[in-house]
Amino acid sequence: MQVIERPLLGHVGLGGAMRSWHNLAPAELYEHATARGEANIVSSGALSADTGQHTGRSPKDKFFVEEPSSQDKIWWHTGNRPISAEHFDQLFELMAEYIRANEVYVRDLFACADPRYRLKVRVVTQYAWHSLFVNNLFIRPSPEELEGFEPDFTVMALPQVRADPSLHGTRSETFILVNFARRTVLIGGTRYAGEMKKSIFTALNYLMPEAGALPMHCSANVGEAGNVALFFGLSGTGKTTLSSDPTRKLIGDDEHGWSDEGVFNFEGGCYAKTIRISKDAEPEIYAATNSFGTVLENVAFDPDTRVPDYDDGSKTENTRSAYPVELIPNADLSGRAAHPSNVVFLSADAFGVLPPVARLNDEQVRYFFLSGYTAKVAGTERGVTEPEPTFSSCFAGPFLVLSPETYAQMLVERLHKHDAQVWMLNTGWVGGAYGVGKRISIAHTRAIVRAVVEGRLRDVETRTDPVFGLAVPVAVPNVPSEVLNPRSAWPDAHAYDQQAQRLREMFEANLARLAEAGAVEPTEED
């Protein structure tokens, strides 16, 4: 296939022809990426690339353009920073200059498996492997659907284009600019491919509520009886791992919408963490990671044998694989399912306080959803070198465009309407805090999840957790009783009590900050 010279970006204000490689097949992108020195083919057949300085997202470098159509709707806070339309135009012109002088890769894709909410997305990239990445992660149109494709949203990802903070109003050379009026995202100064994926998720967090669907940072699967389960959680809490169950069909591993018709995947692929991945613990993900067409990020490999070393975190703990959902054998390729009967909030508790499983009442659902507590895993964001506690509203703080209360209210309404039960699962530490205790066994977590999604814990005997008043099951099949009671697992019960009180105070302080910022409606506890 020859490079195409045609006008492809007139809809975003870049007229004239551009030299582009348009919708190349994965094998062609392999050839381009290796010939250009962008990536290497490893022994498994996957394509391995390094992202350089940026091994995770750069949330402090994301900005929303101040413009009349969206500026009164956006939840402005330290994570949603404004930038002027003039600065956007200046950086857009820098990108236009790059495109006029260089060949680029163009990919036309869909977001949202439900056609009623579908977003047509055009992604322009500097790197061939970036084009393969988005091809894996988004929904791939048929040849017929590509005919006359006109995008609703455009992402331009050109790492070589860097900002000058003194001229362009940015924090650094890196920038992620979202312009809802122009339906355009500009990404520069970073090779981390996850920025492209999350920029569209950010856009959907703005667009979906108005369309009547709740955007969710969650994975989803469905059992043979049609019982759907959602798994909310931040990176490293188990969204991908726990939703990849050989006894259930995978809907998606990260981003979904919940409409009046049911649940639908925003994406067409999976973006799995690979650090210390094993064939025994995660067989489906391991097989997909070691497949032709998969993109590996920052995974070390032997220079002679090209065998990947998934235990090597020397580049980052945030090593990743990006693959089409079709590589998961039991995936539901429709990307759609009915309304969920169980919703799970995942938290990797670095304090070792939360119980492994608890059933939530209505008040606790809102409390834990708005809190979005977990431990930020090393390498997921720049500057984080060891786990630390964090709060992320709706388990999606960096991607929320509207007030968290908007999403929380939509969730509560859907839970009531469809009689869905909500559970809190701690996939973090037991028997002590991080550095003293140990991470809960994935086998025990899987046993808990299996009992939850099969409905075996709905009416079981519970005890009341003294810290948050949670209803904790007294017994779960194949899980030791001492695991279910975190206080008894600590060698010093008094030390547990002190740690628990500290964590509770952190929750309260976080919700107080949100209320002060106008992000949530104050309650008596706030």
C-beta separation of 234 from 256 below 8 A: no
Q: Exactly one of 107, 191, 239, 376 is catalytic; which is it? A: 239
pLDDT more than 90, % of the chain: 83
Lowest mean per-residue pLDDT among 162-166, 307-311, 386-390, 430-434: 386-390
Q: Exactly one of 48, 235, 341, 374 is catalytic; which is it? A: 235
494 catalytic per annotation: no
Question: Which pLDDT score is estimated for 15?
Answer: 62
315 catalytic per annotation: no
Q: Exactly one of 191, 320, 376, 382 is catalytic; which is it? A: 320
Residue numbers belonging to the annotated binding site for Mn(2+): 198, 217, 254
In a domain, 491, yes or no: no
Q: Exactly one of 198, 359, 366, 376 is catalytic; which is it? A: 198
Token pair 């955007």 is found at: 215
In a domain, 449, yes or no: yes
377: pLDDT confidence band, cut at 50, 70 and 90?
very low
Look over the chain and give the mean of its residue pLDDT values, rounded to a whole number.
Answer: 92
Q: Which of 222, 315, 317, 239 is nearest to 282 (CA)?
A: 239
In a domain, 494, yes or no: no
* 208 & 233 share domain: no
Residue numbers belonging to the annotated binding site for substrate: 57, 192, 198, 320
pLDDT digits (tens, 9 = 90+) for 455-476: 999 999 999 998 999 999 999 9
* 112 & 255 share domain: no
Question: Which pLDDT score is estimated for 526?
Answer: 24
458 catalytic per annotation: no
Question: Which pLDDT score is estimated for 215?
Answer: 98
* 110 & 226 share domain: no
* Residue where one domain finishes, among candidates 194, 212, 230: 212
* Residue where one domain finishes, among candidates 212, 235, 251: 212
5: pLDDT confidence band, cut at 50, 70 and 90?
low
In a domain, 224, yes or no: yes
In a domain, 296, yes or no: no
Question: What is the spatial distance between Cα 7 and Cα 106, in angstroms, rounded to a whole number?
Answer: 12
Task: Name the token pair of 372.
Answer: 């979005």
In a domain, 291, yes or no: no
280 catalytic per annotation: no
244 versus 314: which is more confidently predicted?
A: 314
Question: Which pLDDT score is estimated for 19?
Answer: 86
Residue 326 reports pLDDT greater than 50:
yes
Q: Exactly one of 107, 217, 249, 336 is catalytic; which is it? A: 217
In a domain, 498, yes or no: no
Question: Which pLDDT score is estimated for 433?
Answer: 84
C-beta separation of 48 from 41 below 8 A: yes
* 198 & 227 share domain: no
CATH number of the structural domain spanning residue 152? 3.40.449.10
Q: Which residues of 216-229 are buried (b: 16+ CB within 10 A; e: fewer)?
A: bbbbbbbbeeebbb
235 catalytic per annotation: yes
User: What's the average model confidence in pLDDT over 222-249?
Assistant: 91
Amino acid at 80: N
How many CB atoms are closer than 10 A to CB 418? 15
* 103 & 147 share domain: yes
For the chain, what is the domain count? 2
Question: Which pLDDT score is estimated for 16?
Answer: 61
Question: What is the spatial distance between Cα 282 and Cα 187, in angstroms, rounded to a whole number?
Answer: 33
* 74 & 170 share domain: yes
Question: Which pLDDT score is estimated for 401?
Answer: 97
How many CB atoms are closer than 10 A to CB 324? 23
* 156 & 29 share domain: yes
pLDDT digits (tens, 9 = 90+) for 327-358: 999 999 999 999 999 999 999 998 899 999 99
Question: Which pLDDT score is estimated for 235?
Answer: 78
Question: What is the spatial distance between Cα 157 and Cα 337, in angstroms, rounded to a whole number?
Answer: 32
Residue 12 reports pLDDT greater than 70:
no
Residue 6 reports pLDDT greater than 70:
no
Most confident of 31-35, 375-379, 508-512: 31-35
* 443 & 467 share domain: yes
Q: Exactly one of 48, 154, 240, 406 is catalytic; which is it? A: 240
- Would you give the distance in Å from CA 400 to the centre of its chain? 12
* 228 & 165 share domain: no
- Would you give the distance in Å from CA 120 to the centre of its chain? 20
57 catalytic per annotation: yes
User: What's the average model confidence in pLDDT over 212-224?
Assistant: 97
User: What's the average model confidence in pLDDT over 379-408?
Assistant: 80
Question: What is the spatial distance between Cα 482 and Cα 489, in angstroms, rounded to a whole number?
Answer: 6
Question: Which pLDDT score is estimated for 7?
Answer: 58
Residue 299 reports pLDDT greater than 60:
yes
pLDDT digits (tens, 9 = 90+) for 416-466: 999 999 999 999 999 888 888 889 999 999 999 999 999 999 999 999 998
In a domain, 500, yes or no: no
306 catalytic per annotation: no
1 versus 475: which is more confidently predicted?
A: 475
User: What's the average model confidence in pLDDT over 103-129?
Assistant: 98
Residue numbers belonging to the annotated binding site: 57, 192, 198, 217, 233-241, 254, 282, 320, 439-440, 445
418 catalytic per annotation: no
Measured CA angle at 354 (ends 351, 360), to 5 deg: 150
* 124 & 222 share domain: no
Residue numbers belonging to the annotated binding site for ATP: 198, 217, 233-241, 282, 320, 439-440, 445
CATH number of the structural domain spanning residue 425? 3.90.228.20
pLDDT digits (tens, 9 = 90+) for 153-163: 999 999 999 99
User: What's the average model confidence in pLDDT over 473-497?
Assistant: 92
* 113 & 96 share domain: yes
* 245 & 366 share domain: yes
- pTM, rounded to two decimals: 0.92
State which residues form the domain around 388: 215-269+333-483
How far, CA to CA in Å, does 77 sit from each of 61, 68, 160, 453, 493? 14, 18, 29, 37, 39
Question: Which pLDDT score is estimated for 435?
Answer: 80
Q: Exactly one of 22, 57, 87, 140 is catalytic; which is it? A: 57
Question: What is the spatial distance between Cα 246 and Cα 107, in angstroms, rounded to a whole number?
Answer: 32
* Residue where one domain finishes, among candidates 189, 212, 235: 212
